[in-house]
Amino acid sequence: MTLPNKYDWKKLQLFCQEVFEKAGVLKKNAEIVADSLIQADLRGVDSHGVVRTAIYVERIEKNMINPFADPEIEAEDTSTVLVNGNNNLGAVVGTKAVEIAMEKAKANGAAIVGVKGSNHFGTGAFYTLKAIEKDMILLVMSNASQTMPPTGGKRPFIGTNPLAIGVPAGKEAPFILDMATSVVARGKIIVASQKGQDIPLGWAVDKNGKPTTNADDALEGAVLPVGGPKGYAISMFIDILAGVLTGAGFGKYVHNMYENWDEPQNVGHIFIAIDINRFIPIELFKERIDRYISEIKAEPKADGVEEILIPGEIEFRKVIERKKNGIELPEKVAAELDNIGQRYGVDLAKAVFSKNEFVNQEEVINKC
Protein backbone atom coordinates (compact mmCIF):
# COMPACT_ATOMS: atom_id res chain seq x y z
CA MET A 1 0.00 0.00 0.00
CA THR A 2 1.34 3.41 -1.00
CA LEU A 3 0.94 5.95 1.81
CA PRO A 4 0.26 9.66 1.28
CA ASN A 5 3.42 11.77 1.41
CA LYS A 6 2.05 15.08 2.73
CA TYR A 7 0.91 15.63 6.29
CA ASP A 8 -0.65 18.49 8.26
CA TRP A 9 1.91 19.75 10.77
CA LYS A 10 -0.50 20.08 13.71
CA LYS A 11 -2.05 16.66 13.15
CA LEU A 12 1.32 15.01 12.62
CA GLN A 13 2.54 16.56 15.86
CA LEU A 14 -0.51 15.19 17.65
CA PHE A 15 0.11 11.76 16.10
CA CYS A 16 3.70 11.72 17.40
CA GLN A 17 2.58 12.98 20.80
CA GLU A 18 0.00 10.19 21.12
CA VAL A 19 2.56 7.58 20.06
CA PHE A 20 5.00 8.75 22.72
CA GLU A 21 2.25 8.77 25.35
CA LYS A 22 1.28 5.20 24.40
CA ALA A 23 4.97 4.26 24.66
CA GLY A 24 5.00 5.46 28.28
CA VAL A 25 6.05 9.11 28.06
CA LEU A 26 4.24 11.56 30.34
CA LYS A 27 1.81 13.80 28.42
CA LYS A 28 3.68 17.05 29.09
CA ASN A 29 6.95 15.45 27.96
CA ALA A 30 5.37 13.80 24.92
CA GLU A 31 4.19 17.27 23.87
CA ILE A 32 7.75 18.61 24.13
CA VAL A 33 9.33 15.79 22.12
CA ALA A 34 6.66 15.89 19.40
CA ASP A 35 7.03 19.68 19.18
CA SER A 36 10.80 19.31 18.82
CA LEU A 37 10.46 16.86 15.93
CA ILE A 38 7.80 18.87 14.09
CA GLN A 39 9.70 22.13 14.47
CA ALA A 40 12.67 20.47 12.76
CA ASP A 41 10.53 19.27 9.85
CA LEU A 42 8.84 22.66 9.51
CA ARG A 43 12.25 24.34 9.29
CA GLY A 44 13.32 21.90 6.58
CA VAL A 45 15.74 20.04 8.85
CA ASP A 46 14.17 16.68 7.98
CA SER A 47 17.15 14.77 9.38
CA HIS A 48 16.03 15.74 12.91
CA GLY A 49 12.28 15.60 12.38
CA VAL A 50 9.74 12.80 12.69
CA VAL A 51 12.27 10.49 11.06
CA ARG A 52 13.67 10.16 14.62
CA THR A 53 10.37 8.94 16.09
CA ALA A 54 11.10 5.27 15.44
CA ILE A 55 14.51 5.23 17.14
CA TYR A 56 13.22 7.23 20.14
CA VAL A 57 10.34 4.79 20.60
CA GLU A 58 12.57 1.75 20.18
CA ARG A 59 15.01 3.00 22.80
CA ILE A 60 12.13 3.63 25.20
CA GLU A 61 10.76 0.14 24.55
CA LYS A 62 14.17 -1.44 25.19
CA ASN A 63 14.75 0.56 28.39
CA MET A 64 17.59 2.55 26.87
CA ILE A 65 15.73 5.77 27.73
CA ASN A 66 13.92 6.38 31.02
CA PRO A 67 10.84 8.50 30.27
CA PHE A 68 9.81 8.56 33.94
CA ALA A 69 12.96 10.12 35.42
CA ASP A 70 12.90 13.85 36.07
CA PRO A 71 16.01 15.89 35.21
CA GLU A 72 17.50 17.23 38.42
CA ILE A 73 19.94 19.93 39.46
CA GLU A 74 23.18 18.45 40.82
CA ALA A 75 25.13 21.66 41.38
CA GLU A 76 24.07 25.31 41.40
CA ASP A 77 25.58 28.74 41.89
CA THR A 78 24.53 32.27 41.03
CA SER A 79 24.99 31.91 37.27
CA THR A 80 25.96 28.27 36.76
CA VAL A 81 23.97 25.06 37.00
CA LEU A 82 24.73 21.41 36.35
CA VAL A 83 21.70 19.33 35.35
CA ASN A 84 21.59 15.54 35.38
CA GLY A 85 19.08 14.44 32.74
CA ASN A 86 18.78 11.01 34.37
CA ASN A 87 18.55 9.47 30.91
CA ASN A 88 15.23 11.03 29.97
CA LEU A 89 14.50 12.03 26.36
CA GLY A 90 16.91 14.69 25.12
CA ALA A 91 14.25 17.26 24.21
CA VAL A 92 12.77 16.96 27.71
CA VAL A 93 16.16 17.41 29.36
CA GLY A 94 17.15 20.22 27.01
CA THR A 95 13.91 22.09 27.59
CA LYS A 96 14.37 21.89 31.36
CA ALA A 97 17.95 23.14 31.01
CA VAL A 98 17.10 26.10 28.78
CA GLU A 99 14.29 27.14 31.14
CA ILE A 100 16.79 27.17 34.00
CA ALA A 101 19.31 29.11 31.89
CA MET A 102 16.77 31.79 31.00
CA GLU A 103 15.56 32.12 34.59
CA LYS A 104 19.14 32.50 35.84
CA ALA A 105 20.01 34.97 33.08
CA LYS A 106 16.97 37.08 33.92
CA ALA A 107 18.10 37.25 37.54
CA ASN A 108 21.84 37.65 36.97
CA GLY A 109 22.39 38.89 33.42
CA ALA A 110 23.87 35.69 32.03
CA ALA A 111 23.92 32.01 32.87
CA ILE A 112 25.63 28.78 31.86
CA VAL A 113 23.84 25.47 32.28
CA GLY A 114 25.71 22.22 31.68
CA VAL A 115 23.92 18.92 31.17
CA LYS A 116 24.95 15.30 31.54
CA GLY A 117 22.96 12.07 31.33
CA SER A 118 20.93 13.20 28.31
CA ASN A 119 20.08 11.78 24.90
CA HIS A 120 19.80 13.07 21.33
CA PHE A 121 18.03 16.41 21.83
CA GLY A 122 16.93 17.36 18.32
CA THR A 123 17.90 20.67 16.75
CA GLY A 124 19.62 23.50 18.57
CA ALA A 125 17.21 25.94 16.89
CA PHE A 126 14.36 24.43 18.93
CA TYR A 127 15.94 25.90 22.07
CA THR A 128 17.11 29.20 20.57
CA LEU A 129 13.52 29.97 19.57
CA LYS A 130 12.48 29.66 23.21
CA ALA A 131 15.07 32.27 24.19
CA ILE A 132 14.18 34.57 21.30
CA GLU A 133 10.58 34.60 22.57
CA LYS A 134 11.98 35.91 25.88
CA ASP A 135 14.18 38.56 24.21
CA MET A 136 17.37 36.71 25.10
CA ILE A 137 20.43 35.55 23.21
CA LEU A 138 21.14 31.84 23.54
CA LEU A 139 24.13 29.69 22.63
CA VAL A 140 23.59 25.94 22.50
CA MET A 141 26.20 23.22 22.17
CA SER A 142 25.93 19.44 22.37
CA ASN A 143 28.21 16.51 21.82
CA ALA A 144 27.19 13.41 19.92
CA SER A 145 28.32 9.86 19.27
CA GLN A 146 31.36 9.07 17.14
CA THR A 147 30.70 9.84 13.49
CA MET A 148 33.63 12.06 12.45
CA PRO A 149 37.38 11.44 12.30
CA PRO A 150 39.95 13.87 13.67
CA THR A 151 41.89 15.60 10.92
CA GLY A 152 44.49 13.08 9.78
CA GLY A 153 42.47 10.11 11.01
CA LYS A 154 40.22 7.79 9.05
CA ARG A 155 37.83 6.34 11.61
CA PRO A 156 35.20 8.17 13.71
CA PHE A 157 36.30 9.54 17.07
CA ILE A 158 34.22 12.69 17.70
CA GLY A 159 30.62 13.59 16.94
CA THR A 160 29.18 16.11 14.51
CA ASN A 161 28.81 18.18 17.68
CA PRO A 162 26.34 20.98 16.84
CA LEU A 163 26.43 24.68 17.64
CA ALA A 164 23.32 26.88 17.63
CA ILE A 165 22.98 30.61 18.32
CA GLY A 166 19.74 32.57 18.48
CA VAL A 167 19.44 36.38 18.46
CA PRO A 168 16.08 38.20 18.51
CA ALA A 169 15.28 40.96 16.04
CA GLY A 170 12.45 43.45 15.60
CA LYS A 171 10.85 43.62 12.16
CA GLU A 172 13.47 41.38 10.58
CA ALA A 173 13.63 37.60 10.96
CA PRO A 174 15.73 36.56 13.96
CA PHE A 175 19.33 35.46 13.51
CA ILE A 176 19.46 31.69 14.03
CA LEU A 177 22.65 29.77 13.35
CA ASP A 178 22.16 26.02 13.72
CA MET A 179 25.02 23.97 12.35
CA ALA A 180 26.81 20.70 12.73
CA THR A 181 30.60 20.82 12.87
CA SER A 182 30.67 18.34 10.01
CA VAL A 183 30.25 19.26 6.34
CA VAL A 184 26.72 17.93 6.75
CA ALA A 185 24.69 16.47 9.60
CA ARG A 186 24.83 12.66 9.59
CA GLY A 187 21.04 12.67 9.68
CA LYS A 188 21.02 14.03 6.12
CA ILE A 189 22.99 10.99 5.01
CA ILE A 190 20.46 8.78 6.82
CA VAL A 191 17.67 10.52 4.88
CA ALA A 192 19.57 10.05 1.59
CA SER A 193 20.00 6.36 2.41
CA GLN A 194 16.28 6.02 3.11
CA LYS A 195 15.49 7.66 -0.23
CA GLY A 196 18.06 5.55 -2.08
CA GLN A 197 19.93 8.68 -3.16
CA ASP A 198 23.64 9.36 -3.59
CA ILE A 199 25.35 12.07 -1.55
CA PRO A 200 27.72 14.77 -2.84
CA LEU A 201 31.42 13.96 -2.94
CA GLY A 202 33.15 15.52 0.06
CA TRP A 203 30.45 14.78 2.59
CA ALA A 204 31.90 11.54 3.89
CA VAL A 205 34.36 8.67 3.59
CA ASP A 206 33.72 4.91 3.64
CA LYS A 207 34.99 2.52 6.32
CA ASN A 208 38.40 2.47 4.62
CA GLY A 209 38.72 6.25 4.72
CA LYS A 210 38.07 6.66 0.99
CA PRO A 211 35.77 9.43 -0.36
CA THR A 212 32.33 8.10 -1.31
CA THR A 213 29.02 9.23 -2.81
CA ASN A 214 27.18 6.12 -1.62
CA ALA A 215 25.02 6.97 1.41
CA ASP A 216 25.09 3.43 2.81
CA ASP A 217 28.89 3.27 2.57
CA ALA A 218 29.09 6.69 4.22
CA LEU A 219 27.00 5.46 7.16
CA GLU A 220 29.49 2.63 7.63
CA GLY A 221 32.34 5.12 7.42
CA ALA A 222 32.52 8.71 8.70
CA VAL A 223 31.31 12.21 7.89
CA LEU A 224 33.96 14.88 7.40
CA PRO A 225 34.52 18.04 9.47
CA VAL A 226 33.47 21.36 7.95
CA GLY A 227 36.50 23.43 7.04
CA GLY A 228 38.85 20.50 7.66
CA PRO A 229 40.99 21.09 10.76
CA LYS A 230 38.89 24.11 11.82
CA GLY A 231 35.70 22.07 12.07
CA TYR A 232 37.59 19.31 13.84
CA ALA A 233 38.93 21.80 16.40
CA ILE A 234 35.50 23.36 17.03
CA SER A 235 33.93 19.91 17.43
CA MET A 236 36.63 18.92 19.90
CA PHE A 237 36.08 22.13 21.89
CA ILE A 238 32.32 21.46 22.08
CA ASP A 239 33.06 17.92 23.29
CA ILE A 240 35.30 19.35 26.00
CA LEU A 241 32.58 21.76 27.21
CA ALA A 242 29.54 19.50 26.81
CA GLY A 243 31.25 16.24 27.72
CA VAL A 244 34.47 16.56 29.72
CA LEU A 245 33.34 19.60 31.76
CA THR A 246 29.84 18.35 32.62
CA GLY A 247 30.71 14.77 33.48
CA ALA A 248 28.79 13.44 30.47
CA GLY A 249 30.28 11.07 27.93
CA PHE A 250 32.92 12.35 25.53
CA GLY A 251 34.59 10.85 22.47
CA LYS A 252 33.88 7.13 22.41
CA TYR A 253 31.91 7.36 25.67
CA VAL A 254 28.96 9.06 23.99
CA HIS A 255 27.09 5.97 22.85
CA ASN A 256 25.44 5.61 19.45
CA MET A 257 21.65 5.45 19.77
CA TYR A 258 21.32 3.26 16.67
CA GLU A 259 24.04 0.76 17.56
CA ASN A 260 24.55 0.56 21.34
CA TRP A 261 21.72 -1.33 23.05
CA ASP A 262 23.57 -1.99 26.29
CA GLU A 263 24.24 1.50 27.65
CA PRO A 264 22.49 4.90 27.77
CA GLN A 265 23.84 7.55 25.41
CA ASN A 266 25.01 9.94 28.19
CA VAL A 267 25.01 12.95 25.86
CA GLY A 268 26.14 16.32 27.24
CA HIS A 269 24.85 19.81 26.41
CA ILE A 270 25.77 23.42 27.21
CA PHE A 271 23.30 26.34 27.26
CA ILE A 272 24.54 29.94 27.60
CA ALA A 273 21.79 32.54 28.00
CA ILE A 274 22.33 36.32 27.86
CA ASP A 275 19.78 38.92 29.01
CA ILE A 276 20.07 41.68 26.41
CA ASN A 277 18.53 44.27 28.74
CA ARG A 278 21.61 44.07 30.97
CA PHE A 279 23.63 45.57 28.12
CA ILE A 280 21.20 47.70 26.16
CA PRO A 281 17.41 48.27 26.27
CA ILE A 282 15.75 45.53 24.25
CA GLU A 283 13.83 47.88 21.95
CA LEU A 284 17.03 49.76 21.10
CA PHE A 285 18.79 46.45 20.51
CA LYS A 286 16.06 45.35 18.12
CA GLU A 287 16.29 48.64 16.23
CA ARG A 288 20.05 48.21 15.92
CA ILE A 289 19.90 44.54 14.89
CA ASP A 290 17.22 45.35 12.30
CA ARG A 291 19.43 48.07 10.88
CA TYR A 292 22.41 45.70 10.86
CA ILE A 293 20.45 43.01 9.05
CA SER A 294 18.87 45.39 6.54
CA GLU A 295 22.27 46.88 5.69
CA ILE A 296 23.76 43.43 5.11
CA LYS A 297 20.86 42.51 2.84
CA ALA A 298 21.30 45.78 0.91
CA GLU A 299 24.92 45.00 0.05
CA PRO A 300 25.85 44.67 -3.67
CA LYS A 301 25.10 41.13 -4.84
CA ALA A 302 27.49 38.82 -6.65
CA ASP A 303 26.62 37.74 -10.17
CA GLY A 304 23.69 35.33 -10.21
CA VAL A 305 22.62 36.10 -6.63
CA GLU A 306 19.04 37.32 -6.23
CA GLU A 307 19.09 38.00 -2.50
CA ILE A 308 21.50 38.08 0.44
CA LEU A 309 20.11 36.00 3.28
CA ILE A 310 20.95 35.87 6.98
CA PRO A 311 21.36 32.64 8.97
CA GLY A 312 17.95 31.14 9.72
CA GLU A 313 16.05 33.11 7.07
CA ILE A 314 15.64 30.18 4.69
CA GLU A 315 14.26 28.08 7.53
CA PHE A 316 11.97 30.93 8.65
CA ARG A 317 10.38 30.98 5.20
CA LYS A 318 10.27 27.20 5.07
CA VAL A 319 8.13 27.16 8.22
CA ILE A 320 5.55 29.41 6.58
CA GLU A 321 5.54 27.32 3.41
CA ARG A 322 5.21 23.96 5.17
CA LYS A 323 2.51 25.15 7.54
CA LYS A 324 0.53 26.24 4.50
CA ASN A 325 1.28 23.32 2.19
CA GLY A 326 2.05 20.37 4.45
CA ILE A 327 5.12 18.40 5.49
CA GLU A 328 6.32 15.96 2.86
CA LEU A 329 7.62 12.65 4.21
CA PRO A 330 9.68 10.05 2.33
CA GLU A 331 7.73 6.84 1.73
CA LYS A 332 10.00 4.87 4.07
CA VAL A 333 9.49 7.35 6.93
CA ALA A 334 5.72 7.38 6.43
CA ALA A 335 5.72 3.57 6.45
CA GLU A 336 7.74 3.53 9.69
CA LEU A 337 5.32 5.93 11.36
CA ASP A 338 2.33 3.98 10.08
CA ASN A 339 3.79 0.78 11.49
CA ILE A 340 4.41 2.39 14.89
CA GLY A 341 0.93 3.88 14.84
CA GLN A 342 -0.65 0.50 14.16
CA ARG A 343 1.24 -1.07 17.06
CA TYR A 344 0.06 1.63 19.45
CA GLY A 345 -3.41 2.17 18.02
CA VAL A 346 -2.76 5.67 16.63
CA ASP A 347 -3.99 6.35 13.09
CA LEU A 348 -1.45 8.14 10.86
CA ALA A 349 -4.14 8.62 8.19
CA LYS A 350 -5.76 11.28 10.39
CA ALA A 351 -2.65 13.43 9.90
CA VAL A 352 -2.82 13.49 6.09
CA PHE A 353 -2.69 17.01 4.64
CA SER A 354 -5.76 18.39 2.90
CA LYS A 355 -5.52 21.45 0.66
CA ASN A 356 -9.14 22.23 1.42
CA GLU A 357 -8.53 22.90 5.09
CA PHE A 358 -8.53 26.54 6.19
CA VAL A 359 -5.15 28.01 7.13
CA ASN A 360 -5.01 31.15 9.22
CA GLN A 361 -2.10 32.95 7.59
CA GLU A 362 -1.69 35.45 10.42
CA GLU A 363 -1.36 32.60 12.92
CA VAL A 364 1.14 30.87 10.65
CA ILE A 365 3.38 33.93 10.49
CA ASN A 366 3.13 34.77 14.19
CA LYS A 367 4.17 31.28 15.26
CA CYS A 368 7.23 31.00 13.00
CA–CA gap between residue 161 and residue 232 (Å, rounded) = 10
Residue 48 annotated among the catalytic residues of the structure: no
27-42 vs 313-325: helix crossing angle, rounded to 10: 110
Q: Which of 48, 120, 255, 269 is catalytic?
A: 120
d(CA 25, CA 346): 15
Largest CA distance in the chain: 59
Looking at 88-227, list the stretches that DSSP marks H as alpha helix, in order from N- to C-terminal side. Answer: 90-108, 125-133, 186-195, 215-220
Q: Are 324 and 333 in contact (CB under 8 A)?
A: no
CA distance linking residue 359 with residue 338, whole number of Å = 25
Q: Distance between CA atoms of 214 and 206, rounded to whole angstroms?
A: 8
DSSP string, 22-34: HTT--HHHHHHHH
Long-range contacts of 292-301 (CB under 8 A, 24+ apart): 293/169, 293/172, 293/173, 293/175, 294/172
Catalytic residue numbers read 120
